[in-house]
Chains A and B, each alone.
Chain A
């Protein structure tokens, strides 16, 4: 019995240490746990994962846009557009103020990677789609540019490419006449890396992880701390959660 107890304690301690080590960065953008999550090329995304994010608005500084810049650099969203209303924004900083109390927050807003995404429901061709691991994407090959998904998104998270594009990142195909939005840096996640915005946030306000893994840090924090789903009333079950609002 004692031996069994010791063995159990050892296994528990080992698992805890491994989980802890998983969040130790071994190089910029790569940590041990993430390397273990990298999928071999050709292997389909799995329902065993649900990638998501926890954003702590208490740690997010007003005026800081490191996440926005990192996204623009990574995904080459740098085209010059005469009308700023026509410029693509995959992630943006929103300043919010409570009308009653006057309390203010600043937070990044992007595609919330809903479990029940309205954009996927309304897309006539199926170009808007949700991967098995919960990442909501637009298939560039079958998007016809009808913008119905933009009408349906409650978060204003989607942009329409209003002009020809050049100098794209080969891993992030974009195109004139198509709708696009945050991909959760799927090309990086599939390699076991963090989304560019999360990596760039020096305040530690953005935590990326697997919501389907009860032992992941994001799951543990969501289980233990008060978090918010934006427009929770719509019951879309977003993969991005917030704290402090």
Chain B
């Protein structure tokens, strides 16, 4: 194999990337320590916006971690050869992003030092409590799955391990979506559609992350993706992006139909300041329409980098969508007295103004740094580069439409 990252000549490049990743991670952890020392008073979060920017980053990482494994599942569970060679890289990305997302959530806790309390006191009625079981379980399953893919003697077990990972990650993302879906209180949440919406979001975001990482690895190795494989992967990304659009549309249309939800929808879609801007400009235009144009316009989709650009836009859209969903959902005032206007010293009845502070940005970006570092080190020490045997694929008909 000629992977640049594993070649001696490119050792400086590896160390540079690893150092950048480590530095970003360290800055993020430093920001968390600063928050730990001073309390959350140094953040923009408050008693109304209780979950802020770190949660946007953390939930993106956790949801995308689940979805990136989709690539592996299509190979192992559904037997598609093109995806099988990508299983290991998908597993590594899943592990790295899940770990990074959990680190961000953990470091944002008011009492991060009580992690052992969280591990030893589990309330089974809490969706968070379920996640205390689902997340460690996911790590275990991914490790076993990677083992079955890497160790020849374990190959026969890769299908059951892949199946277990497939089922587990559906449960995992159901659990993540249900953190919000099970909240009866706030108008943005309390919807059964949120859990499946999170699953389909995970497919799109995970696929986008996979495409970007794969592109970077191929470029470093001077390799190009076979056009038929590229077409297949980009079309799958487009299907996922379209499916997210469908679920988001259903979510908002349902709300618009309920008189009690109209005011909230008006806030998110029309007059809520930054939230409609991020919803329409960020998620809809950048994160949905532009990727689909890049993927489906023949002249554009053939251009080098167009799929990577589409993937980047999907990720930008994902962050915008999560910001609107999480922060926007909290900024809209609680309807404690339906039919009444309210005011108080605790800002009842008021839309909350939230500005993320620097430590929040640094913690969130630090999470990306942690995932990045783990992936850089992972691809350096183990064989994760997806290599296609085109002749064999063509002979077996795996590339046939």
Contacts and interface: CB of A to CB of B under 8 A. Distances in A.
A96 B345 CA distance: 13
Interface string A60-84: 0000000000000000000001111
A147 B126 contact: no
Interface in A64-111: 81-89, 92-100, 109
A176 B118 CA distance: 17
B342 to A, nearest CB: 5
Contacts of A29: none
Q: Chain B at the A interface: mostly helix, strand, loop or mixed?
A: loop
A163 B126 contact: no
Query: Which has the most chain A C-beta neighbours within 10 Å: B123, B186, B330, B338?
Result: B123
Interface residues of A, number: 59
B346 A144 contact: no
A121 B343 contact: no
B185 A85 contact: no
Query: Which has the most chain A C-beta neighbours within 10 Å: B36, B111, B122, B345?
Result: B111
Contacts of A176: 39, 110
B365 interface: no
Given A124-B129, A144-B111, A148-B126, A156 B183 contact: no
Given A86-B41, A98-B340, A160 B48 contact: no
A160 B50 contact: yes
Q: Chain A at the B interface: mostly helix, strand, loop or mixed?
A: loop
Contact of B340 (A96, A160, A163, A178): A96
A188 to B, nearest CB: 23
A89 B46 contact: no
Given A86-B46, A125-B117, A144 B340 contact: no
Contacts of A155: 334, 336
Given A92-B346, A154-B185, A163-B41, A144 B51 contact: no
A123 B123 contact: yes
A164 B40 CA distance: 10
Contacts of B128: 122-124, 146, 148
A152 B345 contact: no
B127 interface: yes
16 contacts: A85-B46, A86-B45, A89-B47, A93-B344, A93-B345, A94-B342, A99-B339, A109-B344, A122-B183, A144-B115, A144-B118, A162-B40, A163-B38, A163-B41, A177-B40, A177-B111
Interface of A: 81-89, 92-100, 109, 118, 120-127, 141-148, 150-156, 158-164, 176-179, 230-231, 233-234, 245
Return the 3 tightest CB-CB contacts between A and B, nearest first: A145-B110, A177-B110, A85-B46
Given A95-B344, A126-B123, A162-B41, 7 more contacts: A92-B344, A94-B348, A100-B339, A143-B114, A156-B336, A158-B47, A164-B38
